[in-house]
C-alpha cells in the first residue's frame, strides 16, 4: 500500500512538473491552460495516460475530479488557495461523496454538516474515496438539511489535517490505487470552506461529474487501444499450426470487432466532450459514452487475454493488468445500469417535450 501511495504522489508531482495538470483545473490566473476545463483536452490526456499507465491516468483524473468543484464553484480566495498547488502537483485532491449506504443512490447520503457559529460540524462516514489517505484536501458532500434528498446537501473543502477527520480504513482493490474509508467526528470546518450556497451540494457534485464522466470513457478507450495493440503484436507473431495466430479468420474477426467497437466508443466519447466544450447539456451523451466505452473496453481486453492464452493470465502481464484496471470503471461515477437509466430518462423526457410541442 505504501508503495502505491508513494508512486501515486510521485506521479502527481511529475504530471504537475510536466504541465499536464494545467488541464485538470479551470482559471488561467491559477495556473490552468484555459478559463474553463477543456473536456476534449482532458479526454485526450486520459486516453493517452491510460494507454501507458492506469495509475498515471488515475493520478491525473483525481486531481481534476477532486478540484473540479473549486474550479467551477469556488470563491476567488478558495481558488487562489487550492488550485495553483493542484496544477503544480504539490497538493493531492480527492472527491468524497459515496457512503456505505449511499453509492448509486447518492442523494441518500447521511454524513451531516451542522451549523455551529461560523463553522460547521461534520459527523458521519465516506467510503471508497480515491486518494483517501494521501490527499491534502477532500471535497466532502454532507447533509445540511435545507430540504430532504438531493436539495439538502452542501459541499465543503476539508483539509486532511482537520481535527476530527480520520482515515478509518485503507481499502485494497484489484487495480491498486489509494482508496480509503473516512470518518468525521465533530470535524469543525469553517463556513468559509463551504463551496457555493448551502443546499447546492448535489448540483455541484452532478455538474463536476458531468465534466469528468466522458473522461472515464476516454480512459477506457486508452486501456482498450493498448489491448488491441498488444493483441495485434502477439497474434501476428505467435506461431501455431504452420502459420501465425492472426492468419486464422477467427482471430481476424476478434481483431476487427475490437477495432470497430473502440472507434465507435471513441466517436461517442469525443462527441460528449465536444458538446460539453460548446456549453451544451451533455447528461445523456456523456452517459452513452461512459456506458459504451467501459463495456466495450472490458470485452476488447477480454479478447486480448484470450489471444494471449496462458500468458494473458500471468500476474502483472500487460493484458492481465488491463483486465483488472478496466473493471472498476463500469462501476464508479455511475454504474452501467445507472447510465442506462439516465439515457432512457433523457429520451423519454425529450420525446414528451416533442409530443407536447
Q: Which of 341, 344, 347, 352 binds ligand FAD (CB under 6 A)?
A: 341
Residue 139 DSSP SS3: strand
Residue number, 124 or 258, with CB nearest to ligand FAD:
124
205 binds ligand FAD (CB under 6 A): no
- Which grid coordinates are listed for 235? 497474434
In terms of DSSP H, where are the helices of 39-156? 39-52, 54-73, 76-88
168 binds ligand FAD (CB under 6 A): no
101 is catalytic: no
Beta pairing class for 93-96 and 137-143: parallel
Candidates 41-49, 161-169, 236-244, 330-338: pick the segment binding ligand FAD (CB under 6 A): 330-338
Closest CA to 224 of 323, 328, 336, 335: 323
Candidates 12-20, 46-54, 128-136, 148-156: pick the segment binding ligand FAD (CB under 6 A): 128-136
Q: Which of 60, 82, 95, 212 binds ligand FAD (CB under 6 A)?
A: 95
Catalytic residue among 99, 285, 333, 337: 333
Judge whether 91 and 137 are in contact, CB under 8 Å.
yes
Judge whether 145 and 152 are in contact, CB under 8 Å.
yes
Candidates 30-38, 256-264, 268-276, 336-344: pick the segment binding ligand FAD (CB under 6 A): 336-344
Give me the 250-289 binding string for ligand FAD, x by CB under 6 A, dash otherwise.
----------------------------------------
Q: Which of 14, 167, 318, 335 binds ligand FAD (CB under 6 A)?
A: 335
- Which grid coordinates are listed for 46? 486520459
- Which grid coordinates are listed for 132? 483517501
243 binds ligand FAD (CB under 6 A): no
104 binds ligand FAD (CB under 6 A): yes
98 binds ligand FAD (CB under 6 A): yes
Closest CA to 63 of 48, 41, 85, 80: 85
The Cα-based distances of 151 to 36, 97, 99, 110, 115 in angstroms read: 26, 15, 17, 13, 17
Judge whether 304 and 227 are in contact, CB under 8 Å.
yes
Catalytic residues: 333
* Residues engaged in binding ligand FAD (CB under 6 A): 95-98, 103-104, 128-130, 173, 179, 328, 331-332, 335, 337-338, 341
Amino acid at each position: 500500500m505504501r508503495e502505491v501511495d508513494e508512486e501515486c504522489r510521485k506521479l502527481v508531482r511529475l504530471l504537475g512538473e510536466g504541465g499536464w495538470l494545467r488541464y485538470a483545473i479551470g482559471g488561467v490566473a491559477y495556473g490552468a491552460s484555459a478559463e474553463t476545463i477543456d473536456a476534449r483536452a482532458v479526454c485526450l490526456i486520459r486516453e493517452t495516460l491510460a494507454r501507458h499507465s492506469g495509475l498515471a491516468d488515475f493520478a491525473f483524473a483525481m486531481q481534476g475530479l477532486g478540484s473540479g468543484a473549486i474550479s467551477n464553484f469556488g470563491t476567488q480566495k478558495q481558488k487562489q488557495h487550492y488550485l495553483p498547488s493542484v496544477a503544480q502537483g504539490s497538493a493531492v485532491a480527492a472527491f468524497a461523496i459515496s457512503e456505505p449506504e449511499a453509492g448509486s443512490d447518492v442523494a441518500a447520503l447521511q454524513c451531516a454538516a451542522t451549523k455551529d457559529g461560523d463553522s460547521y460540524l461534520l459527523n458521519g462516514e465516506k467510503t471508497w474515496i480515491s486518494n483517501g489517505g494521501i490527499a491534502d484536501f477532500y471535497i466532502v458532500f454532507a447533509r445540511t438539511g435545507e430540504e430532504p434528498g438531493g436539495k439538502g446537501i452542501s459541499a465543503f473543502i476539508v483539509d486532511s489535517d482537520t481535527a476530527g477527520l480520520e482515515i478509518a480504513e485503507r481499502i485494497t482493490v484489484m487495480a491498486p490505487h489509494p482508496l480509503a474509508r473516512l470518518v468525521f467526528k465533530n470535524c469543525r470546518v469553517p463556513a468559509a470552506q463551504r463551496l457555493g450556497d448551502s443546499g447546492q451540494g448535489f448540483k455541484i457534485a452532478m455538474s463536476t461529474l458531468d465534466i469528468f464522466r466522458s473522461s472515464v470513457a476516454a480512459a477506457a478507450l486508452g486501456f482498450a487501444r493498448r489491448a488491441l495493440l498488444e493483441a495485434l503484436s502477439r497474434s501476428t507473431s505467435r506461431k501455431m499450426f504452420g502459420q501465425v495466430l492472426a492468419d486464422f479468420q477467427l482471430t481476424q474477426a476478434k481483431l476487427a470487432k475490437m477495432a470497430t467497437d473502440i472507434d465507435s466508443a471513441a466517436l461517442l466519447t469525443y462527441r460528449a466532450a465536444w458538446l460539453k466544450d460548446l456549453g451544451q447539456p451533455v447528461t445523456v451523451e456523456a452517459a452513452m459514452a461512459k456506458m459504451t466505452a467501459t463495456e466495450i473496453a472490458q470485452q476488447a481486453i477480454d479478447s486480448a487475454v484470450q489471444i494471449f492464452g496462458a500468458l494473458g493470465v500471468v500476474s502483472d502481464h500487460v493484458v492481465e493488468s488491463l483486465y483488472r484496471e478496466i473493471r472498476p470503471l463500469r462501476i464508479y461515477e455511475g454504474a452501467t445500469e445507472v447510465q442506462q437509466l439516465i439515457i432512457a430518462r433523457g429520451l423519454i423526457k425529450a420525446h414528451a417535450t416533442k409530443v407536447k410541442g
